[in-house]
Amino acid sequence: MAAFKSALSGNRLLSDNRLDQSGTCMTNTAPDQRSDGLHYIDMRDRVAGRIASGELKPTDKLPSERQLQEEMGLARGTVREGLFQLEAEGLIYRRDRSGWYVSPPPVVYDPTRWEGFISYVEAQGRVPATETMSAETIVADPLLAEVFGRRAGAPLYMIRRRRHVDGRAVLVEQIVVDAALTPDLLRFSFDQSLTEILKSAYGLSVARNVVSMQPCALTGYEAEVLGAKSGLPGLAVQRTSYDAQGRVVEFDREHWRHDAVRISVDTRVR
Protein backbone atom coordinates (compact mmCIF):
# COMPACT_ATOMS: atom_id res chain seq x y z
CA MET A 1 0.00 0.00 0.00
CA ALA A 2 2.87 2.37 0.79
CA ALA A 3 4.30 1.81 -2.67
CA PHE A 4 0.94 2.53 -4.18
CA LYS A 5 0.59 5.75 -2.24
CA SER A 6 4.09 6.82 -3.20
CA ALA A 7 3.44 6.15 -6.84
CA LEU A 8 0.23 8.12 -6.76
CA SER A 9 2.09 11.16 -5.53
CA GLY A 10 4.63 10.92 -8.34
CA ASN A 11 4.47 12.12 -11.92
CA ARG A 12 1.23 11.43 -13.76
CA LEU A 13 1.20 9.39 -16.96
CA LEU A 14 -0.50 11.67 -19.45
CA SER A 15 -0.29 11.97 -23.21
CA ASP A 16 -1.76 13.89 -26.11
CA ASN A 17 -4.61 11.52 -26.96
CA ARG A 18 -2.25 8.59 -27.50
CA LEU A 19 -2.19 5.02 -26.23
CA ASP A 20 0.28 3.96 -23.60
CA GLN A 21 2.26 0.73 -24.02
CA SER A 22 -0.61 -1.41 -22.72
CA GLY A 23 -3.16 0.11 -25.08
CA THR A 24 -4.79 2.22 -22.35
CA CYS A 25 -6.07 5.54 -23.66
CA MET A 26 -4.80 8.42 -21.54
CA THR A 27 -6.29 11.90 -21.38
CA ASN A 28 -4.64 14.95 -22.91
CA THR A 29 -5.52 17.69 -20.43
CA ALA A 30 -2.65 19.02 -18.34
CA PRO A 31 -3.20 19.20 -14.55
CA ASP A 32 -3.18 23.01 -14.43
CA GLN A 33 -5.95 23.12 -17.06
CA ARG A 34 -8.37 20.98 -15.08
CA SER A 35 -11.42 22.36 -13.35
CA ASP A 36 -12.49 21.07 -9.94
CA GLY A 37 -15.22 19.07 -11.62
CA LEU A 38 -12.70 16.99 -13.58
CA HIS A 39 -10.60 15.76 -10.69
CA TYR A 40 -12.07 12.29 -11.17
CA ILE A 41 -10.10 12.14 -14.46
CA ASP A 42 -6.92 12.84 -12.47
CA MET A 43 -7.80 9.90 -10.26
CA ARG A 44 -8.63 7.72 -13.27
CA ASP A 45 -5.35 8.55 -15.00
CA ARG A 46 -3.25 7.80 -11.95
CA VAL A 47 -4.80 4.39 -11.33
CA ALA A 48 -4.73 3.58 -15.07
CA GLY A 49 -1.05 4.51 -15.09
CA ARG A 50 -0.31 2.09 -12.25
CA ILE A 51 -2.09 -0.66 -14.19
CA ALA A 52 -0.27 0.19 -17.42
CA SER A 53 3.12 0.14 -15.70
CA GLY A 54 2.47 -3.25 -14.11
CA GLU A 55 2.57 -1.90 -10.58
CA LEU A 56 -1.03 -3.07 -10.25
CA LYS A 57 -1.35 -6.49 -11.86
CA PRO A 58 -4.39 -8.42 -13.11
CA THR A 59 -6.64 -9.59 -10.23
CA ASP A 60 -4.83 -7.29 -7.72
CA LYS A 61 -7.17 -5.62 -5.28
CA LEU A 62 -7.25 -1.82 -5.30
CA PRO A 63 -7.08 0.17 -2.07
CA SER A 64 -10.48 0.88 -0.56
CA GLU A 65 -12.44 3.94 -1.63
CA ARG A 66 -11.63 5.55 1.72
CA GLN A 67 -7.90 4.91 1.26
CA LEU A 68 -7.98 6.33 -2.26
CA GLN A 69 -9.85 9.35 -0.96
CA GLU A 70 -7.22 10.00 1.71
CA GLU A 71 -4.23 9.33 -0.55
CA MET A 72 -5.45 11.60 -3.35
CA GLY A 73 -7.12 14.28 -1.26
CA LEU A 74 -10.39 13.91 -3.19
CA ALA A 75 -14.00 13.69 -2.15
CA ARG A 76 -15.43 10.19 -1.97
CA GLY A 77 -17.92 10.98 -4.73
CA THR A 78 -15.05 12.05 -6.98
CA VAL A 79 -13.16 8.83 -6.26
CA ARG A 80 -16.26 6.82 -7.15
CA GLU A 81 -16.63 8.69 -10.44
CA GLY A 82 -13.05 7.77 -11.30
CA LEU A 83 -13.63 4.14 -10.38
CA PHE A 84 -16.80 4.00 -12.46
CA GLN A 85 -14.85 5.44 -15.41
CA LEU A 86 -12.17 2.76 -15.03
CA GLU A 87 -14.88 0.10 -14.80
CA ALA A 88 -16.59 1.36 -17.96
CA GLU A 89 -13.24 1.11 -19.77
CA GLY A 90 -12.80 -2.47 -18.59
CA LEU A 91 -9.67 -1.79 -16.53
CA ILE A 92 -11.18 -2.74 -13.17
CA TYR A 93 -14.22 -4.59 -11.88
CA ARG A 94 -16.11 -4.81 -8.62
CA ARG A 95 -16.85 -7.79 -6.42
CA ASP A 96 -19.85 -7.56 -4.12
CA ARG A 97 -18.84 -6.79 -0.54
CA SER A 98 -15.18 -7.23 -1.45
CA GLY A 99 -13.98 -4.17 -3.35
CA TRP A 100 -12.38 -3.26 -6.67
CA TYR A 101 -9.94 -5.44 -8.60
CA VAL A 102 -7.80 -5.08 -11.71
CA SER A 103 -9.47 -6.87 -14.60
CA PRO A 104 -7.74 -10.05 -15.80
CA PRO A 105 -6.84 -10.44 -19.49
CA PRO A 106 -9.88 -11.09 -21.69
CA VAL A 107 -10.65 -14.47 -23.18
CA VAL A 108 -10.04 -14.64 -26.93
CA TYR A 109 -13.26 -15.86 -28.53
CA ASP A 110 -14.17 -16.85 -32.09
CA PRO A 111 -17.99 -17.03 -32.13
CA THR A 112 -18.04 -18.51 -35.63
CA ARG A 113 -16.51 -21.79 -34.43
CA TRP A 114 -18.55 -24.55 -32.83
CA GLU A 115 -16.00 -25.14 -30.11
CA GLY A 116 -17.03 -25.64 -26.52
CA PHE A 117 -16.40 -22.89 -23.97
CA ILE A 118 -14.44 -25.29 -21.80
CA SER A 119 -12.13 -26.25 -24.68
CA TYR A 120 -11.15 -22.77 -25.84
CA VAL A 121 -10.79 -21.35 -22.33
CA GLU A 122 -8.54 -24.23 -21.23
CA ALA A 123 -6.50 -23.85 -24.44
CA GLN A 124 -5.64 -20.32 -23.26
CA GLY A 125 -4.36 -21.55 -19.91
CA ARG A 126 -7.40 -20.36 -17.99
CA VAL A 127 -9.78 -22.23 -15.68
CA PRO A 128 -13.38 -22.50 -16.98
CA ALA A 129 -16.47 -23.44 -15.00
CA THR A 130 -20.13 -23.76 -15.94
CA GLU A 131 -23.14 -23.29 -13.70
CA THR A 132 -26.59 -24.34 -14.92
CA MET A 133 -29.21 -21.80 -13.88
CA SER A 134 -32.20 -23.66 -15.35
CA ALA A 135 -33.09 -26.34 -17.90
CA GLU A 136 -36.67 -26.88 -19.04
CA THR A 137 -39.00 -27.86 -21.83
CA ILE A 138 -40.72 -24.95 -23.57
CA VAL A 139 -43.01 -24.58 -26.56
CA ALA A 140 -41.94 -22.74 -29.69
CA ASP A 141 -43.28 -19.21 -29.98
CA PRO A 142 -43.59 -17.75 -33.50
CA LEU A 143 -39.95 -16.53 -33.49
CA LEU A 144 -38.48 -19.85 -32.37
CA ALA A 145 -40.81 -21.79 -34.66
CA GLU A 146 -39.39 -19.81 -37.59
CA VAL A 147 -35.79 -20.33 -36.41
CA PHE A 148 -36.16 -24.10 -36.07
CA GLY A 149 -38.57 -24.62 -38.94
CA ARG A 150 -41.14 -26.15 -36.59
CA ARG A 151 -44.78 -25.43 -35.96
CA ALA A 152 -45.68 -22.98 -33.21
CA GLY A 153 -46.11 -24.93 -30.00
CA ALA A 154 -43.54 -27.60 -30.88
CA PRO A 155 -41.44 -28.75 -27.90
CA LEU A 156 -37.97 -27.27 -27.45
CA TYR A 157 -35.42 -27.36 -24.67
CA MET A 158 -34.14 -24.13 -23.10
CA ILE A 159 -30.96 -24.11 -21.02
CA ARG A 160 -29.66 -21.09 -19.11
CA ARG A 161 -26.08 -21.16 -17.89
CA ARG A 162 -23.56 -18.87 -16.24
CA ARG A 163 -19.93 -19.25 -17.32
CA HIS A 164 -16.87 -18.49 -15.21
CA VAL A 165 -13.22 -17.92 -16.04
CA ASP A 166 -10.73 -18.22 -13.17
CA GLY A 167 -13.61 -18.06 -10.70
CA ARG A 168 -15.17 -14.90 -12.17
CA ALA A 169 -18.59 -14.84 -13.85
CA VAL A 170 -18.07 -13.50 -17.38
CA LEU A 171 -20.94 -14.78 -19.51
CA VAL A 172 -24.62 -15.72 -19.24
CA GLU A 173 -26.18 -17.72 -22.05
CA GLN A 174 -29.58 -18.96 -23.15
CA ILE A 175 -29.48 -21.99 -25.43
CA VAL A 176 -32.48 -23.45 -27.25
CA VAL A 177 -32.25 -26.96 -28.72
CA ASP A 178 -34.75 -28.83 -30.88
CA ALA A 179 -36.36 -31.59 -28.78
CA ALA A 180 -37.08 -33.59 -31.94
CA LEU A 181 -33.33 -33.98 -32.54
CA THR A 182 -32.37 -34.52 -28.90
CA PRO A 183 -35.00 -36.65 -27.13
CA ASP A 184 -34.69 -36.77 -23.35
CA LEU A 185 -31.86 -34.22 -23.39
CA LEU A 186 -32.75 -32.93 -19.92
CA ARG A 187 -31.44 -36.14 -18.32
CA PHE A 188 -27.91 -34.76 -18.71
CA SER A 189 -26.03 -32.35 -16.47
CA PHE A 190 -25.32 -29.13 -18.35
CA ASP A 191 -22.47 -28.12 -16.08
CA GLN A 192 -20.44 -30.13 -18.57
CA SER A 193 -19.93 -29.43 -22.28
CA LEU A 194 -23.19 -29.33 -24.22
CA THR A 195 -21.15 -29.56 -27.42
CA GLU A 196 -19.83 -32.96 -26.33
CA ILE A 197 -23.28 -34.14 -25.25
CA LEU A 198 -24.75 -33.32 -28.65
CA LYS A 199 -21.86 -35.04 -30.43
CA SER A 200 -21.61 -38.18 -28.33
CA ALA A 201 -25.25 -38.82 -27.42
CA TYR A 202 -27.00 -37.61 -30.59
CA GLY A 203 -24.37 -37.59 -33.31
CA LEU A 204 -24.95 -33.89 -33.96
CA SER A 205 -22.21 -31.62 -35.26
CA VAL A 206 -22.26 -28.16 -36.74
CA ALA A 207 -21.38 -27.35 -40.33
CA ARG A 208 -22.37 -23.66 -40.39
CA ASN A 209 -22.86 -20.81 -37.95
CA VAL A 210 -24.76 -17.57 -38.49
CA VAL A 211 -23.58 -15.04 -35.91
CA SER A 212 -24.58 -11.49 -35.05
CA MET A 213 -22.90 -9.34 -32.41
CA GLN A 214 -23.64 -5.92 -31.00
CA PRO A 215 -22.72 -3.85 -27.97
CA CYS A 216 -25.36 -3.74 -25.28
CA ALA A 217 -25.99 -2.57 -21.74
CA LEU A 218 -26.16 -5.26 -19.09
CA THR A 219 -29.45 -4.78 -17.26
CA GLY A 220 -32.04 -6.84 -15.43
CA TYR A 221 -31.38 -10.58 -15.31
CA GLU A 222 -28.03 -10.42 -17.13
CA ALA A 223 -26.59 -7.75 -14.84
CA GLU A 224 -27.83 -9.54 -11.72
CA VAL A 225 -26.46 -12.94 -12.75
CA LEU A 226 -23.07 -11.50 -13.71
CA GLY A 227 -22.84 -9.34 -10.59
CA ALA A 228 -22.47 -6.24 -12.76
CA LYS A 229 -23.72 -2.72 -12.17
CA SER A 230 -26.89 -2.20 -14.19
CA GLY A 231 -26.07 -0.31 -17.38
CA LEU A 232 -22.48 -1.56 -17.60
CA PRO A 233 -21.42 -2.19 -21.22
CA GLY A 234 -21.63 -5.73 -22.51
CA LEU A 235 -21.47 -7.72 -25.72
CA ALA A 236 -24.57 -9.51 -27.03
CA VAL A 237 -23.92 -12.49 -29.31
CA GLN A 238 -26.66 -14.40 -31.15
CA ARG A 239 -25.70 -17.59 -32.96
CA THR A 240 -27.74 -20.04 -35.03
CA SER A 241 -25.88 -23.32 -35.62
CA TYR A 242 -26.78 -25.68 -38.49
CA ASP A 243 -25.75 -29.25 -39.22
CA ALA A 244 -24.79 -30.54 -42.68
CA GLN A 245 -28.49 -31.24 -43.47
CA GLY A 246 -29.42 -27.63 -42.75
CA ARG A 247 -31.18 -28.42 -39.48
CA VAL A 248 -30.81 -25.98 -36.59
CA VAL A 249 -28.79 -27.67 -33.85
CA GLU A 250 -28.65 -24.73 -31.40
CA PHE A 251 -29.98 -21.21 -31.13
CA ASP A 252 -27.86 -19.31 -28.61
CA ARG A 253 -28.04 -15.88 -27.05
CA GLU A 254 -25.01 -14.83 -25.01
CA HIS A 255 -24.29 -11.75 -22.91
CA TRP A 256 -20.64 -11.14 -22.01
CA ARG A 257 -19.03 -8.68 -19.64
CA HIS A 258 -17.33 -6.16 -21.88
CA ASP A 259 -13.95 -6.53 -20.18
CA ALA A 260 -13.96 -10.34 -20.27
CA VAL A 261 -13.83 -11.04 -24.01
CA ARG A 262 -11.85 -10.13 -27.11
CA ILE A 263 -13.34 -11.21 -30.44
CA SER A 264 -10.95 -12.79 -32.91
CA VAL A 265 -12.18 -14.39 -36.13
CA ASP A 266 -9.94 -16.43 -38.45
CA THR A 267 -11.28 -16.26 -42.02
CA ARG A 268 -10.06 -17.52 -45.35
CA VAL A 269 -10.26 -15.42 -48.49
CA ARG A 270 -12.17 -17.24 -51.22
Instruction: Kindly report, residue by residue over 6-53, the tens digit of the pLDDT.
Output: 444 433 333 333 344 344 444 444 444 444 456 888 889 999 999 999
pLDDT of residue 270: 67
CA-CA distances (angstroms) from residue 98 to 63, 83, 142? Answer: 11, 15, 44
pLDDT of residue 264: 87
Closest CA to 126 of 171, 166, 176: 166
d(CA 159, CA 11): 51
Q: What is the average pLDDT value for the chain, to the nearest integer?
A: 85
Report the 10 Å Cβ neighbour count for 249. 24
Q: Hey, what CATH topology would domain 2-102 get?
A: Arc Repressor Mutant, subunit A (1.10.10)
Q: Do 2-102 and 107-263 agree at the fold level?
A: no
What's the pTM value of the predicted model, to 2 decimals? 0.77
d(CA 259, CA 218): 12
Check residues 18 and 156 and name the one with the higher pLDDT: 156
For the chain, give every domain's residue range: 2-102, 107-263
pLDDT of residue 37: 55
Question: Out of 22-26, 94-98, 182-186, which region has the weakest mean confidence (pLDDT)?
Answer: 22-26
CB 250 within 8 A of CB 239: yes
- Give residue-wise pLDDT tens across range 80-95: 999 999 998 889 998 8
Residue 209 has pLDDT above 60, yes or no: yes
Report the 10 Å Cβ neighbour count for 55. 13
CB 1 within 8 A of CB 67: yes
pLDDT of residue 2: 46
Spell out the CATH class of 107-263.
Answer: alpha beta
CB 82 within 8 A of CB 40: yes
Which range scores top for mean pLDDT: 7-11, 15-19, 106-110, 246-250?
Answer: 246-250
CA-CA distances (angstroms) from residue 43 to 51, 64, 75, 121, 266? Answer: 13, 14, 11, 34, 39
Average pLDDT over residues 168-188: 97
